[in-house]
């Protein structure tokens, strides 16, 4: 049987190990194996993020078999500190290494990367695109700007997704209140600055995408 497409590059995720140690109650230090260690484990101070975030993955093989859109999107890992972020990021495949058809998301904890999620329902998305294999740095800078609270309207952001396709890769930032034009435009402009991206980008309301699918038009451009 063909092995399912995965986003995990290696067998272990460092952030997971840190979390295991830190979440042990009453000061007891227990190794991953559950044994009490013979030498003390140094717990490095962690740098908490403003929000917790979840990486989600939708792989092309599962997608092609699904009955309804979205039923194969899976949460991969939730992180709440800078260290946990790098622990995950350094152990996952980056967009250029993913199979065409894959979608990889990073959304605020408890927000699902779907139009149907109540927080996303009245929102929309800004999208940039680039050639196949060229989005790794843009994706990383998008993640760092988002989780590092670089946007003036960061509370408006639900998350970001990278869609890996045959000829191109697209990155979108999803927001909550599409009708708040000033906030959306501020996010779009700042995003372009952070990425040093000079092309015009467009903002589509999810509501338009639901009704008009691929024919939905940009409501804002920056
Ligand atoms: P896509 O994968 O976001 O766009 O949406 P892309 O990359 O242009 O298209 P692809 O065919 O190359 O994957 C593709 C289609 O999936 C949309 O036209 C919708 O029919 C469906 N779809 C996408 N999203 C994000 C949603 C969603 O959140 N909810 C539902 N119900 N359908 C969605």
Question: How many whole angstroms from 32 Cα to the centroid of ligand 1?
Answer: 39
Q: How many residues make up the chain in this entry?
A: 222
pLDDT at 59: 82
Q: What pLDDT does residue 66 have?
A: 63
Q: Please state, for a pLDDT cut of 90, what percent of the chain lies above it.
A: 73
pLDDT in tens, 141-170: 999 999 999 999 999 999 999 999 999 999
Mean pLDDT of the chain: 86
How many whole angstroms separate alpha carbon 121 and alpha carbon 24? 37
Ligand 1 center to residue 212 CA distance, Å? 12
190, two tokens: 């700042």
Does residue 28 have its Cβ closer than 6 Å to ligand 1? no
Question: Which residue out of 209, 211, 215 has the highest number of ligand 1 atoms within 8 Å of its CB and is therefore the one to mutate?
Answer: 209
pLDDT tens digits for 37-82?
555 666 778 999 999 999 999 987 777 776 688 889 999 999 999 9
| Band (17; pLDDT cuts 50, 70, 90) | very low
pLDDT at 28: 35
Q: Which residues pair with 54 in a beta bridge?
A: 78, 107
**More confident call, 25 vs 128:** 128
Give the pLDDT mean for 95-107: 96
Write out the two tokens for 32: 């991953």
State how far the Cα of 146 lies from the Cα of 173, in Å rounded to an integer: 9
Q: Does the structure show a pLDDT above 70 at 34?
A: no
Sheet holding 220-221, edge to edge: 74-81, 48-58, 103-108, 157-164, 168-175, 124-131, 202-205, 220-221
pLDDT over 60 at 20, yes or no: no
The arithmetic mean of pLDDT across residues 81-99, rounded, is: 96
Whether 11 shows a pLDDT value over 50: the answer reads: no
């Amino acid at each position: 049987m063909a092995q399912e497409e995965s986003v995990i590059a290696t067998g272990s995720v460092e952030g997971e190990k840190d979390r295991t140690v830190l979440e042990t109650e009453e000061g007891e230090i227990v190794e991953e194996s559950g044994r009490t260690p013979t030498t003390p484990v140094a717990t490095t101070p962690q740098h908490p993020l403003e929000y917790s975030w979840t990486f989600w993955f939708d792989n092309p093989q599962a997608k092609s078999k699904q009955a309804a859109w979205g039923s194969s999107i899976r949460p991969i890992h939730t992180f709440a500190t800078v260290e946990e972020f790098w622990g995950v990021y350094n152990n996952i495949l980056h967009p250029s290494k993913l199979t065409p058809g894959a979608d990889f998301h990073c959304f605020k904890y408890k927000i699902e990367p779907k139009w149907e999620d109540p927080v996303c329902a009245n929102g929309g998305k800004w999208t940039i695109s680039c050639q196949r294999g060229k989005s790794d740095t843009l994706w990383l800078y998008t993640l760092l700007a988002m989780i590092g609270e670089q946007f003036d309207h960061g509370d408006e952001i639900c998350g970001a997704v990278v869609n890996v396709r045959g000829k191109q890769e697209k990155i979108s930032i999803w927001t909550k209140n599409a009708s708040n034009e000033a906030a959306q435009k501020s996010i779009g402009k700042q995003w372009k600055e952070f990425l040093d991206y000079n092309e015009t980008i467009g903002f589509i309301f999810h509501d338009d995408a639901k009704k008009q699918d691929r024919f939905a038009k940009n409501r804002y451009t920056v």
